[in-house]
């Protein structure tokens, strides 16, 4: 169920995309269960509601799971999007603006103090996001159906792997799925190998990887603010796992 109004249109649009992938041989995602009226989703309690086949297994993300993850993503990239209605990446950089807007109306003093503590970091990344947004805009080549957070939604059952939670599937470059591990050479090599094995001739581009590093920093920060998360949770995020990606992004010229 998706309650956030600004995400509901994309979520509703994801259901026919999931059906399209299943119809084209993708068997490692959850198949949509239709309503009695034959629809792919419905509205309930102010949210967009979808029901999927149950996939048994454990949610898991490790270095070892990256290889099958990339192989599955590359297979999805081979599926044609002809005649499919799907939102396209526009490299707008709006996520930074949303954080600034929410910052301006916050009342939680602890969260306000935390954001002030990290003001220079946030402003630096907002500036960098706008820089790379400008560089990436206008080029829609090598766009595919992307997940955006496949690693965080990987279910493992024995030797079988599944990617779930396609609520924000959009047409975008592979960097949208690759950016999390951009500071690890072995992971980038594995991603390129998965593309090659699926007949996709493409090399990940630094400016696109950097864009998504900065974009997702603000995307997840916005989600924490929307959820009225506690200051310590936001601190753990700002100073936690996402910092690793900026070892790469901050070096891109």
Q: What is the pLDDT of residues 28-47, one digit of tens each?
A: 999 999 999 999 999 999 99
- Average pLDDT score over residue span 163-185: 96
| Mean per-residue pLDDT over the chain, rounded | 96
Least reliable range by pLDDT among 5-14, 124-133, 167-176: 5-14
> Can you give the pLDDT at residue 246?
95
pLDDT digit string (tens) for 79-90? 999 888 899 999
- Average pLDDT score over residue span 113-127: 97
Q: Which CATH class is domain 5-249?
A: alpha beta
Classify burial at 159, counting beta carbons within 10 Å of its beta carbon; exposed 0-12, middle 13-18, buried 19 or more: exposed
Q: By the 8 A CB rule, do 19 and 128 touch?
A: no
What does the alpha-carbon distance between residue 25 and residue 40 come to, in Å, rounded to a whole number?
19
pLDDT band at 245 (very low <50, low <70, confident <90, very high): very high
pLDDT band at 7 (very low <50, low <70, confident <90, very high): confident
Output the CA–CA distances (angstroms, integers) from residue 81 to 145, 149, 171, 230, 249, in the order listed.
Answer: 8, 20, 9, 41, 30
- Average pLDDT score over residue span 186-214: 98
What does the alpha-carbon distance between residue 237 and residue 202 come to, in Å, rounded to a whole number?
32
> Can you give the pLDDT at residue 235?
97
Q: How many residues are there in the chain?
A: 253
> Can you give the pLDDT at residue 118?
97
- Residue 198 clears pLDDT 90, i.e. is over it: yes
- Residue 163 clears pLDDT 90, i.e. is over it: yes
> Can you give the pLDDT at residue 4?
84
pLDDT band at 231 (very low <50, low <70, confident <90, very high): very high
Q: Which two tokens stand for residue 60?
A: 């898991």
Residues 6 or more apart whose Cβ sits within 8 Å of residue 209: 175, 178, 179, 182, 248, 249, 252
- Average pLDDT score over residue span 120-145: 97
- Average pLDDT score over residue span 121-126: 98
Does the pTM surpass 0.85? The reply is yes
pLDDT band at 241 (very low <50, low <70, confident <90, very high): very high
């Amino acid at each position: 169920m998706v309650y956030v109004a600004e995400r509901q249109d994309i979520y509703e649009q994801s259901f026919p995309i999931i059906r399209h992938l299943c119809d084209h041989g993708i068997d490692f995602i959850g198949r949509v269960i239709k309503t009695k009226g034959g629809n792919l989703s419905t509205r309930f309690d102010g949210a967009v509601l979808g029901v999927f086949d149950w996939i048994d297994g454990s949610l898991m993300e490790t270095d070892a799971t990256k290889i099958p993850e990339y192989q599955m993503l590359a297979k999805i990239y081979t599926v044609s999007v002809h005649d499919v209605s799907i939102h396209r990446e526009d490299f707008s950089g709006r996520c930074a603006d949303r954080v600034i807007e929410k910052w301006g109306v916050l009342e939680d003093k602890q969260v306000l103090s935390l954001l002030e503590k990290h003001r220079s970091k946030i402003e630096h990344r907002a500036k960098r996001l706008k820089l790379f947004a400008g560089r990436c805009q206008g080029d829609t080549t090598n766009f595919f159906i992307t997940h955006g957070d496949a690693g965080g939604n990987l279910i493992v059952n024995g030797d079988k792997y599944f990617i779930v939670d396609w609520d924000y599937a959009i047409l975008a470059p592979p960097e949208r799925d690759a950016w999390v591990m951009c500071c690890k050479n072995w992971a980038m090599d594995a991603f390129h190998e998965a593309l090659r094995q699926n007949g996709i001739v493409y090399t990940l581009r630094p400016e696109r990887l950097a864009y998504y590093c900065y974009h997702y920093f603000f995307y997840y920060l916005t989600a924490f603010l929307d959820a009225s998360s506690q200051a310590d949770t936001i601190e753990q995020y700002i100073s936690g796992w996402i910092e690793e990606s900026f070892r790469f992004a901050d070096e891109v010229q």
